[in-house]
Amino acid sequence: MRPVASDPSRMDIHMTQHLNHFIQGAPSEASDGARIPLINPVTEQVYGSCASGTAEDVDRAVTAARAQLEGGAWSQLDGAQRGRLLSKLADLVERDSEALADMDADAIGRSPLEPRRMDLPNAIANLRAAAGWANQLEGRTIPTGGYFGRKTLSYTVREPVGVVGAIVPWNSPLMITVWKLAALLSAGCTVVIKPSEETPQSALHLAALAQEAGFPDGVINVVTGYGAQVGRALCEHPDVAKISFTGSPEAGREIQRTAGVLFKRVALELGGKSPQMVFDDAPFDDALFGCTLGLFVNQGQICASGSRILVQRSLAERFAPHWPRPLARSRSATLASLTSRWGRWPRKRNSIASTVTSSWASTKAPRCWPAGYPPLSRAGSYARRFSPTPAMTWRSPRTRSSAPSVR
């Protein structure tokens, strides 16, 4: 992968080929030495590997995180001091923003334009906002009816929940990691991050930046690997007080069942299927562009993707043939292009091909499909673009990968 950085003197920052866990401030191999190949979704070539975490690795990370809460340097910091560390981390993320954007874009097959314009500014803003909240998390003092004739006050104190297990998806790795990280650090918690096994680069670099910012070793730990091993171990570990998960409803149900037995706190952000609605009083060109952006940003691989478009009947016949035009005017992503808008699907080729094939077979309006409609290309998971019509139907209405229906 190419090194990219805003500062030429920092061209050493790039997608490392051999990635390990980050536990107690240091890189660490998996306890059994197992590795997971990292595959470039554009070329479908293996470019590196990451450690395949085990329950033993998770235990080491949780132990390090818990030690910081029980008398470690982190537990001695007040809110203002935590806020200063978060501000410093925000500065470092801003410094390395182009490198971080390219780590995510290259790992996902995403247009490099999107993380530059959306993910990185959002992540930096979240870190700065959390820094401001760190010394504002206060308890309450409450007058009571008294005790044996004497007036009394009750008071509440806000304390860290404890060690948080943060399980992050592949679609916007850095931004979603920061969403979880910024708030829990502001509150004084420690964390074990489990990034997607497909996109661990930016989370590991973020942990290294936190160390550079001055966070004590053990506050932020990253264990790479599969959900069935690392995610489950986090959910089952008795010293993990809370699980924060972003991903599929199926995995969320399993996490809820597993963590519920131990009465862990759980926060779930799960996949959805959201409609976009267009009425005939909407500015036509704005509606076309808005629907395209809502459906295809990050190739449609976001939980808030507008994966269905509901158009008022009086506008439908006019809207349908015009809608693909914003796609035709946009360039597909290459590894180096900063002008491209649409990227590739990361390692989803088989499921996308199945969706396209089943939809093609089930449609009642074969005239909608181009003659000789091809399968997906071998690399990049692309199919030929075509013009949908209101008569088109789809076999898989619940899939989060909505883009095959119009490419």
* Residue 284 covered by a domain: yes
Q: For 68-78, what is the mean pLDDT? A: 97
State residue 330's pLDDT score: 52
Helix, strand, or coil (residue 372): coil
Q: Are residues 162 and 254 in the same domain?
A: yes
* Residue 143 covered by a domain: no
Q: For 304-321, what is the mean pLDDT? A: 86
**φ and ψ at residue 275, rounded to 5 degrees:** -85, 150
Q: Are residues 104 and 166 in the same domain?
A: yes
Is 291 annotated as catalytic?
no
Contact 271, 402 (CB under 8 A): no
* Residue 405 covered by a domain: no
Phi/psi-derived region of residue 69, left when phi > 0, alpha when psi is between -120 and 50, beta in every other case: alpha
* Residue 65 covered by a domain: yes
Residue count of the chain: 407
CA distance 219 to 265: 19
CA distance 92 to 60: 27
Q: Are residues 56 and 119 in the same domain?
A: yes
SS3 content of the chain, % helix, strand, coil (to 5): 45, 15, 40
CA distance 237 to 66: 12
Residue 338: both structure tokens together: 């900063």
State residue 233's pLDDT score: 97
* Residue 211 covered by a domain: yes
State residue 9's pLDDT score: 37
Q: Are residues 256 and 338 in the same domain?
A: no
* Residue 234 covered by a domain: yes
If we measure between CA atoms, which residue out of 256, 255, 133 comes closest to residue 188?
A: 133
Among 270, 298, 330, the domain-final residue is 270
Q: What is the pLDDT of residues 214-247, one digit of tens each?
A: 999 999 999 999 999 999 999 999 999 999 999 9
Residue 84: both structure tokens together: 């200063």
* Residue 141 covered by a domain: no
Q: What is the span of the domain harbouring residue 378?
A: 275-400
The percent of residues in the chain predicted with pLDDT above 90, rounded, is: 57
State residue 305's pLDDT score: 79
Contact 20, 50 (CB under 8 A): yes
Q: For 165-180, what is the mean pLDDT? A: 95
* Residue 149 covered by a domain: no
CA distance 141 to 143: 7
Q: Are residues 168 and 91 in the same domain?
A: yes
> What CATH number is attached to the domain comprising 104?
3.40.605.10
The larger pLDDT score, comparing residue 33 to residue 112, is at: 33
Helix, strand, or coil (residue 147): strand
Burial of 23 from C-beta contacts in 10 A (0-12 / 13-18 / 19+) = buried
The larger pLDDT score, comparing residue 322 to residue 9, is at: 322
State residue 395's pLDDT score: 37
CA distance 316 to 343: 28
Q: Are residues 261 and 283 in the same domain?
A: no
Q: Are residues 324 and 215 in the same domain?
A: no
Among 246, 270, 294, the domain-final residue is 270
Angle between the 173-186 and 97-108 helix axes, to the nearest 10 degrees? 130
Q: What is the pLDDT of residues 182-214, one digit of tens each?
A: 999 999 999 999 999 999 999 999 999 999 999
The total domain count for the chain is 2
List 44, 94, 236, 269, catalytic entry: 269
Q: What is the mean pLDDT of the chain?
A: 81
Q: Check whether 97 has a pLDDT greater than 70.
A: yes
SS (H, E, C) 229-260: HHHHHHHHCCCEEEEEEEECHHHHHHHHHHHH
The larger pLDDT score, comparing residue 401 to residue 253, is at: 253
State residue 327's pLDDT score: 60
Q: Are residues 20 and 98 in the same domain?
A: yes
Maximum distance among all Cα pairs of the chain, rounded to whole angstroms: 89
Q: What is the pLDDT of residues 348-402, one digit of tens each?
A: 555 655 666 665 555 544 434 444 444 444 454 444 444 444 434 333 333 333 3
**φ and ψ at residue 89, rounded to 5 degrees:** -60, -40
**φ and ψ at residue 240, rounded to 5 degrees:** -90, 120
Q: What is the pLDDT of residues 133-164, one digit of tens each?
A: 999 998 899 998 888 888 899 999 999 999 99
Contact 126, 228 (CB under 8 A): no
Residue 154: both structure tokens together: 């009750």
State residue 80's pLDDT score: 97
CA distance 349 to 179: 29
Name 143's bridge partners. Answer: 153
> What CATH number is attached to the domain comprising 287?
3.40.309.10
pLDDT band, residue 272 (cuts 50/70/90) = confident
Residues near 155 by Cβ (< 8 Å), separated by ≥ 6?
139, 140, 141, 142
Q: Are residues 256 and 298 in the same domain?
A: no
Q: Are residues 294 and 215 in the same domain?
A: no
For residue 120, how many other CB atoms are within 10 A of its CB?
Answer: 23
Q: Are residues 248 and 298 in the same domain?
A: no
Supply the pTM of this predicted model.
0.79
Question: By mean pLDDT, which of 94-98, 169-173, 320-324, 349-353 is the weakest?
Answer: 349-353
Among 270, 287, 305, the domain-final residue is 270
Q: Are residues 252 and 280 in the same domain?
A: no
List 198, 303, 317, 368, catalytic entry: 303
Q: What would you report as the CA-atom Rg of the chain, rounded to the nearest whole angstrom?
A: 24
CA distance 99 to 10: 9
